[in-house]
Structure 1
Amino acid sequence: MLALDIGTEFVKALIFRTVPGGEKVRGEILGVGKTRQKSGNMQSGAVSDISGVIETSREAIISAQKKSGIKKVKKSIIGIAGELVKGTTTTVHYERSRAESQINISELKTIINRVQLKAYERIKQQISWETGQDDISIKVINAAIVDIRIDGYQVKNPIGFQGKDVSISIFNAYAPTIHLGALNTIADELGIDLISIAAEPYAVARSVDYDDVLDFSAIFIDIGGGTTDIAVVRNGGLEGTKMFAFGGRAFTKKLAQELEISFEEAETLKINYSGGRLGFDVSSRIDEIFENDCNVWLGGVELSLAEFAEHDVLPSKILLCGGGSALPGIKKALASQGWIKNLPFAKTPIVSFLQPKDVVRIFDSTKELTNPQDVTPMGLANLALDISAEEKLMAGILSRVVQNMEE
């Protein structure tokens, strides 16, 4: 199988195979390919030059194939990012006319359909408002049941239960059809069989195993080249995702501008700075150059999290990943006290990094995946295992409702 992370700065390709591991299938990484995007291929996480991205992706895939010894990839998953990729959890409360009767599959489908119709209208209105276009076409790319309650009692599967009040919460990620069309064209040209296009913040949030931990809460922040992706998990359920167009490339441009050097030279300097390979004087100078941009980036995080803070306190665990997270000023900005006062955190947040070893069910035989920027493609591989495995009853019902909405 292939996990393809088409980022603003790099295309990363992971070739992996499924390995039986008891109840849960595991994935073993066999080959890794990484190719830098050419200027103009991507804009803020979205494809802007299809032929250019195809060429870069092909290089990354061929590199991974050579290392793995695998000539033909059977199935693949591609990640999607960008400001117009939206993720939100919608809850519908349903009052049953006959509380004494048992809930059956037919009734459950009806309830789930109501949730999905409500979610679709909500997201469509939001994207229309942001773009100023009323007729923008969108599609569901990921859907997952977050919470089911019957008369206030939480259940995993409501089939067979009795009760009057049923509430179901479903997370949905949507993307504009134009973006999805570009990725489908890329997949067709590369000759790969797509099993899914996945919202990258959704994949990152699912990369940590919290399915059976009802009190798990965290904020995931993935800082890529063109965008910052945020996912909020509260009490074991994915509440929503946000993205804004500010990533590592903005810092590189600022460095190039201030020091009057080329973008390529600035990128190399930034990487050495992030890796602690520069002298004290040079590092201090770059600290000063980046200080304002770090504050601007932090403002974007604050605005994004404010929308999750309207009804409940925010999780106090912040998990960072992505190439941009290596910048020293990022963690320093998140650890500052000023912005925290404006948001309802239960306690001072603890900031840490997501590492490849934290991604569940994926192990790296190549030993090439070593830092937080490798978490996103590994998260896509982990998600592919779920999609390709035999679907559970609830996930199956949700999947069929989504398919029916698209027909």
Structure 2
Amino acid sequence: VSDIEGVVRSCEKAINKAAEMCGESPNQVILGIAGELVKGKTTTVHYERLKPKSKIDLPELKNIIQKVQWKAFDKVRKQLSWETGLPEIDVRLINAAIVDVRIDGYRVTNPVGFQGKDITISVFNAYAPLIHLGALQTIASELGLDLLSIAAEPYAVARCLGIEDKVEFSAIFIDIGGGTTDVAVVRNGGLEGTRMFALGGKAFTKRIADQLSMNFEQAEKVKIQYSKNQLSPDYTKKVKDALETDCRVWLSGVELALEEYSEDDLLPSKILLCGGGSALPGIRTALLSNAWGENLAFARNPKIKFIRPPDVKNITDETGKLTSTQDVTPMALANLALDFTGNEDILGGVLRRAVKLMQS
């Protein structure tokens, strides 16, 4: 966020318009965050119990989860320090989720009360630099809203289909926003990690503006018309040629983002797209081409599908205005907000308390 006041003004206009539409004014907000320095990763810890015949209780579970969290926190600080060249970056844990729990190799939803020797717990954590979080907290305060949560946007998108309990579900989620592309990898119903890089729809708009000699606003209109196949054949070819190089660069960014997830296991062949930039024809063409993936191991040839607003779990659009892939991310955040209103399970409660301890 480079202009907090400008963002606040834009948010106020949007909130007022939405409040008029539904006849209610909100008092809470969930904010999404994305960017190259927002890190999301699943950490797995194997824990050998000294007394395998005794039943697992809450204090023991709390101790294990805290060990997982501090181990993950130490890893991400070192990673950010290496990437930025700075000795130490002040980062904060923004959200976390239990991905997998196993006792002696058997998957369980709640380990309390079970016996066993070996416990394996996998937790997904998302972190962001403190400076980014401070800006979002200021925005919420200026809007007069209670900040319910700050969430990593790719985490919200990966959760929006309601696949947490579907152990057979695996997919790559790609959200192409204005400034960044967010990539999330889900294997066996669990979020393995997220990566982001700074190339999104604005870069494509700028390329059209430069190549076709027009201002940014005109180029944005042309890009949207191109995405909707509303240009003449000759003009369509000009735009396609102008964006060809950028699509290749974008594809190499996706390849780099996925490399670490293909080192030990095959990548999911299902690729789910959302975000305004995903509507560009060149994006889908690039993903289906043979120009990438030589360094990646896919289970099968990738299949591309778009996430549409009706696909988002628990959110019903009664306005009929949410029709685009760019509407999916805010709807995914709304779906995530519903988690705060439901009943919390034991495992979630232990994790939430561990997160609060680390955030304090």
Instruction: Bin the TM-score by the shorter chain.
Output: over 0.9
Residue in 2 aligned with 1:299? 252
Pair 1:333 & 2:294 matched: no
Residue in 2 aligned with 1:81? 34
Residue in 1 aligned with 2:242? 289
**Comparing both structures, which one devotes a greater share of its residues to helix?**
2
Cα distance in 2 for partners of 1:389, 1:164 equals 33
Pair 1:322 & 2:275 matched: yes
Residue in 2 aligned with 1:163? 116
- Answer yes or no: is the 8 Å Cα contact 1:223–1:325 preserved in 2: yes
Pair 1:176 & 2:129 matched: yes
Pair 1:363 & 2:316 matched: yes
Deviations 1:15-36 (CA, angstroms, capped at 9, x unpaired): xxxxxxxxxxxxxxxxxxxxxx
Paired residues for 1:224-239 under 5 Å: 224-239=177-192
> Tell me, which stretches of 5 or more residues in structure 2 are unaligned?
none
Cα distance in 1 for partners of 2:138, 2:27 equals 18
1:73 partner letter: P
Aligned with 1:402: secondary structure?
Answer: helix
Aligned with 1:277: secondary structure?
Answer: coil
Sequence identity of aligned pairs in percent?
60
1:318 partner letter: I
2:193 partner letter: G
- Answer yes or no: is the 8 Å Cα contact 2:27–2:144 preserved in 1: no
2:349 partner letter: G
- Answer yes or no: is the 8 Å Cα contact 2:94–2:127 preserved in 1: yes
Residue in 1 aligned with 2:355? 402
Of 57, 62, 65, which aligns to 2:11? Answer: 57
Deviations 1:2-48 (CA, angstroms, capped at 9, x unpaired): xxxxxxxxxxxxxxxxxxxxxxxxxxxxxxxxxxxxxxxxxxxxx01
1:50 partner letter: I
- Answer yes or no: is the 8 Å Cα contact 2:93–2:358 preserved in 1: no
Aligned with 1:340: secondary structure?
Answer: coil
TM-score by length of 2: 0.99
Paired residues for 1:186-265 under 5 Å: 186-265=139-218
Of 85, 98, 116, which aligns to 2:51? Answer: 98
Residue in 2 aligned with 1:40? none
Pair 1:146 & 2:94 matched: no
Cα distance in 1 for partners of 2:78, 2:39 equals 12
2:166 partner letter: V
1:388 Cα deviation (Å)? 2.6
Aligned with 2:282: secondary structure?
Answer: helix
1:402 Cα deviation (Å)? 1.2
Cα distance in 2 for partners of 1:104, 1:135 equals 37
2:13 partner letter: E
1:76 Cα deviation (Å)? 1.4
Residue in 1 aligned with 2:266? 313
1:311 Cα deviation (Å)? 1.0
Residue in 1 aligned with 2:226? 273
- Answer yes or no: is the 8 Å Cα contact 1:340–1:348 preserved in 2: no
Cα distance in 1 for partners of 2:83, 2:4 equals 25
Aligned with 1:363: secondary structure?
Answer: coil
Aligned with 1:308: secondary structure?
Answer: helix
- Answer yes or no: is the 8 Å Cα contact 1:81–1:200 preserved in 2: yes
Aligned with 2:128: secondary structure?
Answer: strand
> Tell me, which stretches of 5 or more residues in structure 1 are unaligned?
1-46
Cα distance in 1 for partners of 2:146, 2:165 equals 32
Cα distance in 1 for partners of 2:257, 2:204 equals 20
TM-score by length of 1: 0.87
**Comparing both structures, which one devotes a greater share of its residues to strand?**
1
Cα distance in 1 for partners of 2:108, 2:96 equals 18
Paired residues for 1:24-63 under 5 Å: 47-63=1-17
Aligned with 1:238: secondary structure?
Answer: strand
Cα distance in 1 for partners of 2:288, 2:125 equals 31
- Answer yes or no: is the 8 Å Cα contact 1:215–1:235 preserved in 2: yes
Cα distance in 2 for partners of 1:257, 1:338 equals 25
1:341 Cα deviation (Å)? 2.6
Residue in 1 aligned with 2:84? 131
Cα distance in 2 for partners of 1:369, 1:223 equals 17
Count of paired positions: 360
Of 333, 350, 355, which aligns to 2:303? Answer: 350
- Answer yes or no: is the 8 Å Cα contact 2:42–2:122 preserved in 1: yes
